[in-house]
Amino acid sequence: MRKEILNHLHDPGFLEKLYRSNKVPFKREFSALYPDVKGNALADFWNERLRYESEEINWGSGRELLFVLIAILVAGVIAKVPAMFPVDEEFFYPRNIGFIIFPVLTAYFAWKNGLSWSKVAVLAGVFLASLIYINSLPDAQSSDTLLLSCIHLLLLLWAMLGFAFVGETRNQYDLRLGYLKYNGDLVVMTTLILIAGGIMTGVTIGLFSLIGLSIEQFYVEYVVVFGLPAAPILGTFLTQTNPHLVGKVSPVIARIFSPLVLVMLVIYLIAMVSSGQDPYNDREFLLIFNALLIGVMAIIFFSVAETSRAAKNQISNWVLLLLSSVTVVVNGIALSAISFRISEWGITPNRVAVLGGNVLILINLLLVTVQLYRVVSNKASIAGVGKAIAFYLPIYMLWAVLVTFLFPLLFGFK
Span of 20-34, 237-251, 369-383 with lowest mean pLDDT:
20-34
DSSP-based three-state secondary structure for 397: helix
> What is residue 46's predicted lDDT score, i.e. its pLDDT?
79
Determine the pLDDT at residue 155. 95
Q: Is the pLDDT of residue 307 over 70?
A: no
What's the confidence (pLDDT) of residue 54? 54
Q: Report whether 342 contacts 351 (CB < 8 A).
A: yes
Among the ranges given (19-28, 144-153, 275-284), the one the predictor scored with the smallest mean pLDDT: 19-28
Q: Strand, coil or helix: what is 413? A: coil
d(CA 105, CA 167): 13
- Please report, for the chain, the start and end positions of each structural domain, with discontinuous segments joined by +: 2-51, 62-243, 248-410
Give dist(CA 15, CA 2) in Å, integer.
11
Q: What percent of the chain has pLDDT over 70?
A: 91
Which residues have a Cβ under 8 Å from the Cβ of 325 and sit 6 or more positions away? Answer: 369
Given a cut of 60, is residue 214 above it in pLDDT?
Answer: yes
Residue 169, pLDDT above cutoff 70: no
> Residue 22's pLDDT is what?
66
Residue 126 pLDDT: 95
Tens of pLDDT along 44-97? 787 777 766 555 566 667 888 899 999 999 999 999 999 888 888 889 999 999
Return the CA Rg of the chain. Answer: 23
Top pLDDT among 363 and 1 is at 363
What does the chain come to in residues? 414
Taking residues 301-305, report their average pLDDT: 78
Look at residue 159 in the predicted model and tell me its pLDDT. 94
User: In this predicted structure, what is the pLDDT of residue 226?
Assistant: 92
Residue 197's pLDDT band (boundaries 50, 70, 90)? Answer: very high
Alpha-carbon gap, residue 268 to 272, rounded angstroms: 6
> In 169-282, where does DSSP find H-type helix?
173-210, 216-218, 225-241, 244-247, 249-275
pTM, entire model: 0.83
The percentage of residues in the chain with a pLDDT greater than 90, rounded to a whole number, is 33
Band (pLDDT 50/70/90 cuts) for residue 123 is very high
Q: Is the pLDDT of residue 171 over 70?
A: no
Please check the confidence at residue 277 and state whether its pLDDT lies above 80: no
Nearest-angstrom CA–CA distance, 130 and 137 = 11
**pLDDT for the residue 359:** 93
pLDDT tens column, 308-360: 555 456 788 888 899 899 989 888 988 998 998 899 888 889 889 999 999 99
User: CB neighbours (10 Å) of residue 75?
Assistant: 24
Largest CA distance in the chain: 70
Rounded mean pLDDT, 268-284: 78
Helices 314-345, 349-376: axis angle to 10 degrees equals 160
Q: What is the pLDDT of residue 1?
A: 64
Rounded mean pLDDT of the chain? 85
